[in-house]
Amino acid sequence: MKTHIKNRSLNEITEYALAKGQPAFRAKQLFEWIWKKQAESFGEMTNLPLSFREALEADFWVNTLETADEQVSADGTRKFVFALADGQKIESVLIPSDGRITACISTQVGCALGCRFCATGSMGFVRDMDFTEIHDQIIRLMKLSAARYQTTLDNIVVMGMGEPLLNFDNTITALDRISDKTTLNFSPQRITISTAGIVPAIIRMADKNLPYHLAISLHSANEAKRKQMMPVAQKYPLPMLTDALKHYHAKTGNRITIEYILFGGLNDAPEDAAALAQFCRSFPVKINLIQYNATSLGTFGSSTAADSKKFVQFLENKNIIVNLRKSKGADILAACGQLVKNSNLKPDIS
């Protein structure tokens, strides 16, 4: 049964090469193809002997993803359905904005959190993605960025399917491999991990002093409203989350991004803005206000332009950095909260 070559250390690959009658330096060549040259097949590894490549092909995978479907939004956003080796599917997105390309990646098949506004949560939890699958996903998106937009990938946001901090080790291992200076040297300052507020993992990020940006999907600083929208708030209420974020800032010195979807008549009133401003007094923040993207769940409605503007003005008057983000890819269900396993997309072959 095949295994993933990315699970093998350099020493293990060296032992394998020697067992196949190859000199030890072949292992270093292979290692470079895997981690630095973004190889997705053994056939690409042209400086390896054909017999060695055939042996590798028989024993290992080098990339387990198949691009099952692709859709293109009117705004240029592209959503991809990737099939994993066991037949499970995930969705990932490439988002063009101001000359930059951002990849939104997934870390789980489905999600266990069940946030009432999120389509992914309606799937339930299927399984964690292995670090090799997460790494394969990023490599594929890097290549698709070059192919579709003729430019390199600029940013990675871990905001796709799943709660990344419930798959902590696999997520961080994949990001560490991508940002390793000896491999792709992708700047960790261009990687953001978004969480619904998994307090023990936030503390773990702080104690490890991880170099990645942290974003919190908050959506309300009113305890009752947050619990109504996000079941995770029952386990990790706002005082506990506040303490974790204070610890995170004390350990890392990093500004925290607060993500806040504006729902009409639920969390977009002046008192909601006041509660959010109060929550953000304990640590430096940047607030990303997000337009609600409709899903088949039909649970919530969008904030009006007038109410959204008042919300922004209130926070700006408190000298808080606020961005009202324009959603991208909503027409192909690629925007925030819309990703869900979908095998019926029509592929775009342009």
Q: Which long-range contacts (CB under 8 A, 24 or more apart) does 41-50 make?
A: 49/22
Distance CA 18, CA 8 (A): 15
Region of 333 please: left (phi>0), alpha (psi -120 to 50) or beta. Answer: left
Options 70, 91, 133, 163, the catalytic residue = 91
The helix or strand, by DSSP H or E, that contains position 25, with its residue range, turns out to be helix 25-35
The answer to whether residue 91 is catalytic is: yes
Options 104, 111, 118, 336, the catalytic residue = 336
Neighbours of 86 (CB within 10 A): 10
Output the 3-class SS for 96-163: EECCEEEEECCCEEECCCCCCCCCHHHHCEEEECCHHHHHHHHHHHHHHHHHHHCCCCCEEEECCCCC
Distance CA 138, CA 128 (A): 16
> Tokens at residue 268, please?
């977009």
The residue among 252, 160, 239, 254 whose CA lies nearest residue 197 is: 239
Beta strands in 159-242 (DSSP E): 191-195, 213-217
> Tokens at residue 13, please?
């690959």
Would you name the residues annotated as active-site residues?
Answer: 91, 336
